[in-house]
Amino acid sequence: MARPELPLAQLHAFVVLAEELHFGHAAAHLGIAQPPLSQQIRRLEDKVGHALFSREPGRVTLTPAGRELLPAARRALTDLADGLAAARAVGSGQAGRLRIGFAASLALTILPDLLRTFGQRFPGVHLDIREMTTAPQITALHDKAIDIGLLREPPAGEVELGFRTVLSEPFVAVLPATHPLAAGTVQLAQLADSPFVLLPRAAGPQLYDQITGLCTAAGFTPHIVQHAVEWQTVCALVGAGLGVSLAPASIRRIRLKGVAFRRVEPGTARTRVAVAWRKNDQNALVKHLLATVSPNPPDRP
């Protein structure tokens, strides 16, 4: 990249004069007196090495060299003005792109609201959403592959990431409609002998451990016969009679024939949905999204 030789102010003066073709008017248009404009043009012509305007009595005209320079000058000025505006918009979080990872089940609950609300407040921002389970989201946040995570059961010990709970919900039992317990509220211990369908532990260790922990607390170890990476699939498998499951209440929105959702006792355990971000992320969009997700100010580490 070559060292720039032409001050922008002079190019600006040049462009305006090329439009007006009249020193006095151009100077007025620039908000300066006429002699300074003459100087600007002269300096520019000195740098270029050739006359850019031909001054004949009564009329000012562009020389061929001036005609050659004009479009480049114009483009440079508009490019810079546009680029500056764009950079400011992005910097202030009025525009740009935000990459959001989300757990599939959230597409049924908080995600649509979030997209709608944020989209209305920041119409210039492109939201790039991608479905991922919890563990990959954590990795992607570290790798800067996503800027925001929407996940269940934030892991502990993540010093570089911030988490804020945005939703807390109880668990429900997922049962085949034909299951004997599908009639009313389920005592957790009653599931002790049923085969279980669950997400693989790798997808979200915290939630997995929480679910198996609930079973343990109820006095049994779940017999897991099948893993599936999405709750949607888990429900389908349950509906097909492969087993039962324990899931966050919001998956009740998944309406599948032959699948029943039942409250469990004890119902105190809750799973938390959290928004996650890099604590050191300076991106204004991240701050805006955090503010959107819970208007009361976040903690700023």
Partner DNA sequence: GCGCGCCATACGCCTAGAGATATCACGTCA
Partner DNA sequence: TGACGTGATATCTCTAGGCGTATGGCGCGC
Q: Which is nearer to its own copies, 8 or 189 (CB)?
A: 8
CB of 285 to its own copies, least distance (A): 8
CB of 5 to DNA, least distance (A): 8
CB of 272 to its own copies, least distance (A): 29
Residue 86's binding partner among its own copies, DNA, none (Cβ under 5 to 8 angstroms by kind) is its own copies
- How far, in Å, are 85, 87, 140 from residue 79 at the CA level? 10, 12, 34
Query: And the tokens for 106?
Result: 């959230």
CB of 101 to its own copies, least distance (A): 18
Residue 222's binding partner among its own copies, DNA, none (Cβ under 5 to 8 angstroms by kind) is none
Please enumerate in sequence order all residues whose Cβ is within 8 A of that of 291, keeping only pairs 6 or more positions apart, or say none: 297, 298
Residue 189's binding partner among its own copies, DNA, none (Cβ under 5 to 8 angstroms by kind) is none
CB of 56 to DNA, least distance (A): 8
Residue 24's binding partner among its own copies, DNA, none (Cβ under 5 to 8 angstroms by kind) is DNA
Residue 124's binding partner among DNA, its own copies, none (Cβ under 5 to 8 angstroms by kind) is none
Spatial CA neighbour of 141 closest among 288, 279, 293: 279
Q: Give the footprint of its own copies on this chain (CB under 8 A).
A: 1-9, 11-12, 15-16, 19, 48-52, 54, 56, 63-69, 71-84, 86-92, 96-97, 280, 282-285
Residue 88's binding partner among DNA, its own copies, none (Cβ under 5 to 8 angstroms by kind) is its own copies
CB of 298 to its own copies, least distance (A): 19
Q: Give the footprint of DNA on this chain (CB under 7 A).
A: 7, 9-10, 13, 22-24, 30, 32-36, 38-43, 53, 55, 57-58, 60
